[in-house]
Structure 1
Amino acid sequence: MIEGIVERFAKHGYQLHPDAARMLCEQMVEDSQIKEILSSIDESTIVICPSDISCFCEANGKRNRGTFNVLLDLSDVQIDAVDEWGFVKRFRDRYERLSRILQSRLNVRSIKSLERVKKLDVDQIGIVGVVSEINKTPNGHTILDLEDMTGRFPVLLMKDKLNVNIVLDEVIGVQGSLTKKGELFVADKIFFPDIFSNFTPNHADVESFAVFISDIHMGNCTFIDDAWERFIAWMRGELGGEREIELSRKVKYLVIAGDVVDGIGVYPDQEKELLIPDLTEQYRRVARSLAEIPDEITIIIAPGNHDAVRQADPQPRLPERIQVLFKQHKNTIFVSNPAMVELDGVSVLIYHGQSFDDLIMAIPGLSYDHPEGAMIEMLKRRHIAPIYGGKVPIVPSVIDSGVIERIPDILLCGHTHTVGVGRYRGVTTINAGTWQGQTEYQKKLNITPVPGCAALVNLRSLDVNMLKFC
């Protein structure tokens, strides 16, 4: 890459001091910027020295870094583990925040509690509640129990009228009427919190790029080292043709959505599949690779269920003893799982995705091969993990970390080890696969991973290009 910089300046009749060439290489200078540099240099200059370009490099470094903000980090969420009331508070928070969204959409007379339904003598009413129970009648109809702060009420969904997928513990709105005895609510329409139909995503003001990856699983014997090294080389601008290298120079952010390493003791007999049996060394290997990426690129790392944090959601950022291993890269940020960040004005909700296991089992038609389908279901429900008591452990906290209160421009997940890109009501969904081959566990589940991929996103257009390094 340094040779390329030297050649580009030579075309204009200038030589580069080796240190100046290295500085410009790190800046990933474009042709238009070369003209900017030359216009500020004395015409009598033959060899361009570091002092000649120091002002440019300082200003360009600030431009390259872009605007980064952490919008939501749940590492320090308040936990109430005294008794079961910690979980009650969490579900109350879920109900209150999602019911506010639903009550603003029901174009009928709304009620504040389910108990009041029994006393209202009207044809059409709307109610909002948490789905606490789902049962099937002998005729194939569905009866839900909806629950709010005051009580529970049964809701009938006729099979030939409402063909919707409902999951336990989600918050929904129902429009319908009471039976004559007032003991059953017959639904005419179901409302999900959902993304607003008129939602318009944010775009970066200037062209810049972010790279999204997940599930590195460093330390497992199925980790694909060659593909990972090619990816790191591309991030350094040292792999590919002229177009690929030019794109790599425009990357400002690298976001990693969990499972940075394979971990220790995550599943039975894991030690038989470990190439690196030491947890700290697994992280050290990843940190050593990421240190090769230019410091101008901001690296954002969230944990997953294989990482060295608690399993229960929300997972805090990686501990300090792990973070210090990454200090060689001067622009690395650690966030929780889930978390929301802002990249040049574009909001990204990062969630590793353990709830895929529950959603795929509960909703017909979803599969690991098409993870974007499950991500759309998360957006419809405005919750990344609506089902309680399945594969996703949770902490008894005063807020529900799974609620999607602010609509993201991009939803990034991992966990499935498969690739999926979609767009739902303006929100871009991305799952960028993995960096390891098929494991014995995945063979049992008939899951075929898609390794060695990275999602390159143009933050100005929100176009997604899936890069393959395998």
Structure 2
Amino acid sequence: MDAMVVDSDSYPLQRKQADYMCQDERYLLRMQKYKGQQYSHLYYSRLHKFKEFLNGLVKKRWPNLPVCTVLGLEDGKECVIVGTLYKQMQLKPSILDEYSKERTVVPIVQPHNFVHSNDYLILEDDSGRVKLTGHILSPSMFVTGVVVALHGKESSGGDFYVQSILEAGLPPQRSLHSEENKYVVLVSGLLVGSGKSNPLQFQLLVDHLSGHSGDEQEQSMTSQIVRLVIAGDSVDIRQGLLAGQSLASKDQGRLVEPIKELDLALTQLAAAMPVDIMPGPNDPANFSLPQQPLHKCLFPGASTYNTFVSATNPHQFELDGVSFLGTSGQNIDDLNKYSEAKEKVDFMERTLKWRHLAPTAPDTLGCYPFTDKDPFVIEDCPHVYFCGNQKKYESRLLKGSEGQLVRLVCVPNFCETGTAVMVNIRSLECHILTLSTSSLVG
């Protein structure tokens, strides 16, 4: 039966619906095997996939220049090389440094960002590697794992002097066909069970989305919400409780109660509307990307509804032909540690132009050791690209050279901001939904 929203006069408003297609198959690990696979296979797959993208672009950009390998460079001869960037970083943490810190009495302060003025870039292909020089390529803007094509020449010192750079750019995108105002709500960082969370604020969100609060105008707007996506960090569980040892009864309660509370809320929501929940860095899920769906046994109430979807992280889906792609934030947070930008949406824009969701995986971001593919390559341009668990709301409409339109959304941490984001799938416009309990106090 279709979900309904009840207005102030007790006349049911029919909630709008949208055709949903989950596209998480590429991120699902059907048979996980850890038998000595090397991450070199992942980099090899990534490089050869990007050569398919870049070869045609190189011919259009530099039709008269030869494409060389690193080993085939000739001193002073202009050419194009295609390869994977490696960033040599002075401040990059290493396991040996971590070991030495454990043995020292004086604690060492960790920077929040590891970029240093002495950092430099190296390009690596199947034949070898070469240090990059020149003012075109700024090390602070790039990270290890990005595949690019570079125009330049080898210097007398054996470096490659870069004269121009070509990124893969935004992938092709299907045109928008949605003709009706329908909304998707994006929320993250609920952190149920955290000392910072406000249960009343969370319940306000549940009541608002399920249509049990608000005046006639608000409920009419609520009836246009066709899906809720929870982008990670839904519960707060102390890491020590997940260490594998036997738990005392009080610890068992602290482990179970937040999940029970979350399931009660999700059950109310799933009874009223479709809900997708993604795992995040602090959820009871695997650490490495792609994170697998939270097991449905955690949600005995919500999982009885076919409107409830436990999704992967990253999560990819379509609504009425509008393509969504999003993460719970790990990929963007890692870029923030190893490169620089003014805003988080700048990092998001770069990943789209690099055509890769998580270029720093597996160098500084944990990921499964794939041997025959790289699932984080972006082959189709999404219409909405979101990133969860950010400090503040940010949004930008990105326009591609071939007419692509992408709404970039940084979804703020709800526990700290009380804010969710509403995206109109017809126009790609978005606005924030902020719920405050201050008016209820007293």
TM-score (norm 1): 0.74
Distance 1:123 1:141, change over 3 A: farther
Among 72, 79, 92, which residue is 1:125 paired with? Answer: 79
Q: Counterpart of 2:228? A: 254
Confirm or deny that 1:415 pairs with 2:367.
no
SS at match of 1:155: strand
Superposition map of 1:107-256 within 5 A: 107-108=61-62, 109=65, 111=67, 113-118=69-74, 123-134=77-88, 144-156=121-133, 158-159=134-135, 161-163=136-138, 165-179=141-155, 181=156, 183-195=158-170, 202-256=176-230
Superposition map of 1:384-395 within 5 A: 384-388=357-361, 392-395=365-368
The separation in 2 between residues aligned to 1:456 and 1:249, in whole angstroms, is: 13
The separation in 2 between residues aligned to 1:356 and 1:236, in whole angstroms, is: 31
Give 5+ residue unaligned stretches, structure 2: 91-116, 400-404, 437-442
Q: Counterpart of 1:444? A: none
The separation in 1 between residues aligned to 2:130 and 2:364, in whole angstroms, is: 28
SS at match of 2:414: coil
Cα deviation code 1:370-405 (max 9, x no counterpart)? 432322222222222222466521121223233222
Instruction: Tell me by how many angstroms 1:122 deviates.
Output: 8.7
SS at match of 1:114: coil
Distance 1:103 1:141, change over 3 A: farther
Distance 1:294 1:402, change over 3 A: closer
Instruction: Tell me by how many angstroms 1:186 deviates.
Output: 1.4
The separation in 1 between residues aligned to 2:255 and 2:217, in whole angstroms, is: 38
Cα deviation code 1:198-219 (max 9, x no counterpart)? 8575342332111111111111
Cα deviation code 1:111-143 (max 9, x no counterpart)? 36333334xx9953211111124379xxx8975
The separation in 1 between residues aligned to 2:240 and 2:409, in whole angstroms, is: 25
The separation in 1 between residues aligned to 2:391 and 2:30, in whole angstroms, is: 29
Structure 1 window deviating more from structure 2 (306-315 vs 390-399): it is 390-399
Give 5+ residue unaligned stretches, structure 1: 9-24, 30-60, 438-450
Alpha carbons 1:338, 1:401 under 8 Å: kept:
no
Q: Counterpart of 2:432? A: 466
Instruction: Tell me by how many angstroms 1:323 deviates.
Output: 4.3
Q: Counterpart of 2:355? A: 382
Instruction: Tell me by how many angstroms 1:66 deviates.
Output: 1.8
- The one of the two structures with greater contact order (alpha-carbon pairs below 8 A, sep at least 6) is 2
Q: Counterpart of 1:4? A: 8
The separation in 2 between residues aligned to 1:77 and 1:188, in whole angstroms, is: 45
The separation in 2 between residues aligned to 1:276 and 1:427, in whole angstroms, is: 44
Letter paired with 1:393:
G
The separation in 2 between residues aligned to 1:80 and 1:110, in whole angstroms, is: 41
Confirm or deny that 1:455 pairs with 2:430.
no
Confirm or deny that 1:283 pairs with 2:259.
yes
Q: Counterpart of 2:408? A: 429
Cα deviation code 1:182-211 (max 9, x no counterpart)? 933211112222315x85753423321111
Q: Counterpart of 1:343? A: 319
Letter paired with 1:344:
D
Confirm or deny that 1:406 pairs with 2:380.
yes
Instruction: Tell me by how many angstroms 1:297 deviates.
Output: 2.0
The separation in 2 between residues aligned to 1:469 and 1:153, in whole angstroms, is: 53
The separation in 1 between residues aligned to 2:176 and 2:240, in whole angstroms, is: 38
Instruction: Tell me by how many angstroms 1:436 deviates.
Output: 1.8
The separation in 2 between residues aligned to 1:345 and 1:331, in whole angstroms, is: 19
Alpha carbons 2:325, 2:382 under 8 Å: kept:
yes
Alpha carbons 2:19, 2:319 under 8 Å: kept:
yes
The separation in 2 between residues aligned to 1:141 and 1:263, in whole angstroms, is: 40
Structure number with greater Rg is: 1
Among 35, 40, 45, which residue is 1:88 paired with? Answer: 40
Identity of matched residues, %? 21
Structure 1 window deviating more from structure 2 (352-361 vs 274-283): it is 274-283
The separation in 2 between residues aligned to 1:275 and 1:209, in whole angstroms, is: 40
Letter paired with 1:338:
P
SS at match of 1:279: helix
The separation in 2 between residues aligned to 1:335 and 1:374, in whole angstroms, is: 24
For these two proteins, the number of residue pairs brought into alignment is 389
Alpha carbons 1:130, 1:148 under 8 Å: kept:
yes
Distance 1:266 1:364, change over 3 A: farther
Letter paired with 2:128:
G
Cα deviation code 1:70-98 (max 9, x no counterpart)? 1233122554522242x121111221222
Q: Counterpart of 2:53? A: 101
TM-score (norm 2): 0.79
Structure 1 window deviating more from structure 2 (68-77 vs 224-233): it is 68-77
